[in-house]
């Protein structure tokens, strides 16, 4: 299949790009490079042995989308493009609604007009809000506690209406839990601008001496060691989940499907710190700090529906997540000194 990846130069998009090429798909990436760099495409070529076209453009730009659909015989879209920082979304809500919601609407209009009606959308476990039970299955009620989460919910609602309006649509909403880790090659991974908000990139930078110590947000949660518990999923497992979802919606009669992509296993912040130290033989100094606003105690998936309907199950454990994050950190350090 020929697949368009919006946000294809980003962290998750680039790993999915590599997985799709190795499954025999033909792809084109479309990205405004607001949170990524074009150099990723060279590294993807080194990984896959195939040059992958990158079109620099914005999903809010209808002309740019029409051109990419006109130039390439796109059959399906995987839609990663979006802004994703919770704190920033609280400070700049209009920017988030414009980029994420308006951007998605423009993409859907462009797809509909050229009769491309197969779509995989990057949603998030954030749409479950504060969990009322664990593990979280897809029937869990949804809610949002910040503008970023609300953009994901609004887009999910928009997709449900679109799917209900025309039975030709085949839409998969993938609710990611906590993606971490990097490609085995060490060539691509997560490299946020500025000080990382998320746990794993923060741990890597502390271990590398680029940051002094990790602040563990909260040591008094009702969890086994008092620190927050999450469902960390290796980005390569997540990438395989996209390939499986695309295959499934090509065969299903259902216009809309929703799948959790998680492992079903929760680990605490201190579990992550200890695993990172043990696997990589490094020290990660930390101190227990106050809770972060908006954080919840525990969140982990029931991945059963994806296993049953997609035949997909995460297979990589914590050791692989920590080792690959550290290899990628080394690659970044080497790139910076070259």
Applying CB under 6 A, which residues contact ligand UD1? 84, 86, 124, 126, 148-149, 178, 197-199, 202, 214-217, 228, 230, 269, 292, 294-295
Nearer to ligand NAD, 261 or 310 (CB): 261
* Binding mask of the shown chain, residues 172 to 211, with x at each position contacting ligand NAD by CB under 6 A: ----x--x--------------------------------
| 80 contributes a contact to ligand NAD by CB under 6 A | yes
Rounded to an integer, what distance in angstroms lies between the CA atom of residue 53 and that of residue 57? 12
Find the shortest distance in angstroms from Cβ 37 to ligand NAD. Answer: 9
| 146 contributes a contact to ligand NAD by CB under 6 A | no
Find the shortest distance in angstroms from Cβ 303 to ligand UD1. Answer: 16
Task: Give the CA-trace dihedral at 48, 49, 50, 53, to 10 degrees.
Answer: 70
From 19, 28, 103, 221, residue interacting with ligand NAD (rule: CB under 6 A): 103
Find the shortest distance in angstroms from Cβ 118 to ligand UD1. Answer: 25
Largest separation between any pair of C-alpha atoms in the chain: 55
From 55, 68, 81, 243, residue interacting with ligand NAD (rule: CB under 6 A): 81
Interacting stretch for ligand NAD, rule CB under 6 A, among 6-14, 86-94, 248-256, 311-319?
A: 6-14
Q: Which of residues 123-142 bind ligand NAD (CB under 6 A)?
A: 124
| 159 contributes a contact to ligand NAD by CB under 6 A | no
Given ligand UD1, ligand NAD, none, residue 60, with its beta carbon under 5 to 8 Å by kind, binds: ligand NAD
Tokens in use for 167? 């039975």
Sheet containing 229-230: which strands, arranged edge to edge? 267-268, 229-230, 298-299
* Catalytic residue (choose from 148, 202, 221, 232): 148
What is the DSSP annotation of 189-220?
----SSS-SSHHHHHHHHHTTSSS-EEEE-S-
Burial of 260 (0-12, 13-18, 19+ CB in 10 A): buried
What is the DSSP annotation of 224-263?
TTSS-EE-EEEHHHHHHHHHHHHHHHHH-S-SEEEEEES-
Active site residue 96: no
Interacting stretch for ligand NAD, rule CB under 6 A, among 42-50, 57-65, 248-256, 271-279?
A: 57-65
Give the CA radius of gyration of the chain: 19
Tokens in use for 192? 């946020």
Nearer to ligand UD1, 75 or 295 (CB): 295
Rounded to an integer, what distance in angstroms lies between the CA atom of residue 154 and that of residue 82? 13
Residue positions annotated with a catalytic role: 148
């Amino acid at each position: 299949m020929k697949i368009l990846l919006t946000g294809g130069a980003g962290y998750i998009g680039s790993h999915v790009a590599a997985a799709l090429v190795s499954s025999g798909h033909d792809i084109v990436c479309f990205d405004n490079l607001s949170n990524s760099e074009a150099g990723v495409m060279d590294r993807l070529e080194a990984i896959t042995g195939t040059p992958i076209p990158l079109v620099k453009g914005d999903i809010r730009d209808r002309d740019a989308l029409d051109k990419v659909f006109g130039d390439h015989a796109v059959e399906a879209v995987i839609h990663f493009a979006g802004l994703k920082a919770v704190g920033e979304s609280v400070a700049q809500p209009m920017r988030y609604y414009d980029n994420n919601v308006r951007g998605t609407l423009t993409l859907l209009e462009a797809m509909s007009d050229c009769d491309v009606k197969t779509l995989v959308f990057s949603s998030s476990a954030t749409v479950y809000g504060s969990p009322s039970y664990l593990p979280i299955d897809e029937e869990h009620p949804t809610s949002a506690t910040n503008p970023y989460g609300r953009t994901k919910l609004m887009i999910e609602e928009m997709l449900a209406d679109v799917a209900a309006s025309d039975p030709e649509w085949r839409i998969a909403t993938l609710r990611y839990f906590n993606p971490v880790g990097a490609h085995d090659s060490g060539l691509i991974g997560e490299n946020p601008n500025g000080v990382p908000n998320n746990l794993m990139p923060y741990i890597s930078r502390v271990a590398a001496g680029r940051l002094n110590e990790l602040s563990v947000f909260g040591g008094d949660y009702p969890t086994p060691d008092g620190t927050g518990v999450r469902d960390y999923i290796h980005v390569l497992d997540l990438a395989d989940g996209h390939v499986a979802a695309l295959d499934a919606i090509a065969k299903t009669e259902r216009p809309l499907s929703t799948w959790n992509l998680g492992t079903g296993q929760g680990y605490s912040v201190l579990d992550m710190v200890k695993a990172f130290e043990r696997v990589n033989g490094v020290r990660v100094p930390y101190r227990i700090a106050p809770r972060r606003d908006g954080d919840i105690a525990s969140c982990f998936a029931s991945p059963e529906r994806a296993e049953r309907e997609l035949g997909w199950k995460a297979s990589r454990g914590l050791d692989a997540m920590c080792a690959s994050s550290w290899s990628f950190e080394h690659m970044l350090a080497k790139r910076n000194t070259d």
